Amino acid sequence: MAGRGTDVPFVNEEFLDFGDGDIRRSIQEALTAVKARLGHEYDLVIGGHRVKTMAKIVSINPARPAQIVGVHQRADETHVESAMQAAQAAFVTWSRTSTQERAGLLFRAAALVRERKFELCAWLTYEVGKNFAEADADVGETIDFLEFYAREALRLDAATTPIQLPGERNQLRYIPLGVGAVIPPWNFPLAIMAGMTAAAIVSGNTVILKPSGDAPTIAAVFFTLLEDAGLPDGVVNFCPGAGAQFGSAIVAHPQTRFIAFTGSKAVGLEIHESAAKTQPGQRFIKRTVLEMGGKNSIIVEADCNLDAAVDGVVASAFGFNGQKCSACSRAIVNTAIYDTFCDRLCERVAAIKQGDPAENFYAGPVVNQAAHKQILNFIEIGKSEGRVLAGGHAVETTDGGFYIAPTVIADVAPTARISLEEIFGPVLAVIKSQNFDDALVTANNTEYGLTGAIYSSSREKLNRAREEFHVGNLYLNRKCTGAMVGAHPFGGFNMSGTDSKAGGPDYLLLFTQAKSVAERLGAISEKDEAEENLMGL
């Protein structure tokens, strides 16, 4: 199947309109079809070989924990060497495959994802609890990453040096690094997993893919889709496994050239530390591409459009139940409108409907029991640090889903624990600011620096925020979630990661190394020169 290719300029995938009756029917049909496939067992795939293990990973539906989504083999330290050897063997040929062919694989994969959009949305709903719009955004971003990175690879392949010295032919080539570990998160288990994998392989690298234990089925479905698009054996090796047994061993392996990771600060720092230790036989400095946590703020000034600010805060804080590294977890509100804002905020939060995402409720479950317990523990801490305006409790259901009511805690001090520590759930702290200077100080007082937003009609304040609000992705008069590939290259400062701007023009540079080649002209025969000119060299 052919993709759009470079003959069509890159545009972001359009969102589906779930108010359209035909689209609603299509998603319902997909949910029914995927439901019939739940519980299937999936193999490890190493160098094209299907492998079974004694130990398994069982993926469940967080809305209905008794419902098994997929059963997966559990890779451990015994599979590390075979995965590495398969990836290294594939690298020999894949690294020498033309950029046009590698980009073509991504274009074909994008076409398949587009063709199977409703099915993939359904998998996201069952495995991680995304409602229809959140699932559609995840699938759309996957298509965008595939299309964008294919074009970016072709652009890099055509790179030239700034000048050509007289008497020389000067070239600048971006060549692959080698074998990399790709370790994606569960919250965008299709888009981020596919994006990191696609960026690595379109650049000529080969990959050992260890998907999240909470979302291995979605990764397995995407891996099969890559195979359908023509992925050669060993270019991507599908290895769900325990982090301590498999992931850590892959990171530490002396032939792992790079690690692309998205997840928590704690795990990201462990990866960075491990990668920095040179192993016997290692001949390079490992590269880490880390996207970690956030403690993101939206500043709400007295001169803002209050309705827009309330809507933006609610969407940013409670979309996908706050389970986004970009989510707003702190609203910093000017004292002049603080009480009014809190009243309006509570009205909006009270209107949020919660239930099974397969029925398209806005608020669904959190991802697993451990997250459920941790978030409730933070809420108890928050009760001692502020005033609960909404939520503050678990929501019991007959199916035993991991539900927590959207929670708002007001009158929180800037230095409170729930103001500084990442919660990764539907919990919003509201902090009062005395003036704009005070708001900026609070916005910058965490160890993170991922996303942020400001609502204000003052050009002076917006311009100051551009310079002084220290985050990787800043939004003015709009929500702080929903980064779009190409328009909002995504990645944060400080403990939010290595500022690896996913979906931007610099991203593929992280998966390549630049090689300068200078040739003195006139040193080969005229016949050879003519043949090279015909070949475009």
List CB contacts of 532: < 8 A, sequence separation 6 or more. none
DSSP codes, 383-434: HHHSEEEE--SEE--TT---EE--EEEES--TTSHHHHS---SSEEEEEEES
C-alpha span between 185 and 210 (Å, rounded): 10
C-alpha span between 450 and 496 (Å, rounded): 6
Give the lowest-confidence range in 106-115, 173-182, 342-351, 525-534: 525-534
C-alpha span between 125 and 62 (Å, rounded): 10
Q: Is the pLDDT of residue 210 over 90?
A: yes
Residue 16: how many CB atoms within 10 A of its CB? 21
Structural domains in the chain (count): 2
Q: Mean of the pLDDT values across residues 447-466?
A: 98
Cβ–Cβ under 8 Å, residues 473 and 492: yes
Give the lowest-confidence range in 22-36, 239-253, 395-409: 239-253
531 found inside a domain: no
Q: Is the pLDDT of residue 242 over 90?
A: no
CA proximity to 453, closest of 342, 332, 321: 332
| Whether residues 235 and 205 fall in one domain | yes
535 found inside a domain: no
| Whether residues 369 and 277 fall in one domain | no
| Whether residues 318 and 234 fall in one domain | no
Q: Mean of the pLDDT values across residues 440-448?
A: 98
Q: Is the pLDDT of residue 181 over 50?
A: yes
C-alpha span between 6 and 9 (Å, rounded): 6
Cβ–Cβ under 8 Å, residues 436 and 461: yes
| Whether residues 132 and 174 fall in one domain | yes
Q: Is the pLDDT of residue 61 over 80?
A: yes
Q: Mean of the pLDDT values across residues 480-488?
A: 98
For residue 536, what pLDDT band results from cuts at 50, 70 and 90?
low
33 found inside a domain: no
Q: Is 291 considered catalytic here?
A: yes
Cβ–Cβ under 8 Å, residues 206 and 88: yes
Q: What is the pLDDT of residue 537?
A: 58
Q: What is the pLDDT of residue 5?
A: 67
| Whether residues 352 and 280 fall in one domain | no
Q: Is 346 considered catalytic here?
A: no
Give the three-class secondary structure for 365: coil
| Whether residues 266 and 327 fall in one domain | no
Q: Mean of the pLDDT values across residues 35-51?
A: 98
| Whether residues 369 and 271 fall in one domain | no
Q: How confident is the model over 384-422, as pLDDT tens digits?
A: 999 999 999 999 999 999 999 999 999 999 999 999 999
| Whether residues 152 and 251 fall in one domain | yes
- CATH number for 175: 3.40.605.10
Of 121, 239, 325, 342, the catalytic one is 325
C-alpha span between 228 and 439 (Å, rounded): 51
Q: Is the pLDDT of residue 171 over 50?
A: yes
Domain that holds residue 176: 42-291+506-515
22 found inside a domain: no
Q: What is the pLDDT of residue 524?
A: 79
153 found inside a domain: yes
Give the burial string for 127-140 (b: 16+ CB within 10 Å, else e).
bbbbbbbbbbbbbb
| Whether residues 274 and 341 fall in one domain | no
Domain end, chosen from 476, 496, 528, is at 476
Of 13, 291, 301, 422, the catalytic one is 291
| Whether residues 224 and 370 fall in one domain | no
C-alpha span between 133 and 294 (Å, rounded): 23
C-alpha span between 313 and 302 (Å, rounded): 15
Q: Mean of the pLDDT values across residues 310-331?
A: 98
Phi, psi of 467 (to 5 degrees): -90, -35
Q: What is the pLDDT of residue 531?
A: 63
Q: pTM of the predicted model, to two decimals?
A: 0.96
Q: What is the pLDDT of residue 75?
A: 97
46 found inside a domain: yes
497 found inside a domain: no
24 found inside a domain: no
Q: What is the pLDDT of residue 1?
A: 45
- CATH number for 363: 3.40.309.10
CA proximity to 296, closest of 465, 445, 498, 134: 445
| Whether residues 219 and 320 fall in one domain | no
Q: How confident is the model over 71-90, as pLDDT tens digits?
A: 999 999 999 999 999 999 99
| Whether residues 285 and 400 fall in one domain | no
Q: Mean of the pLDDT values across residues 180-203?
A: 98
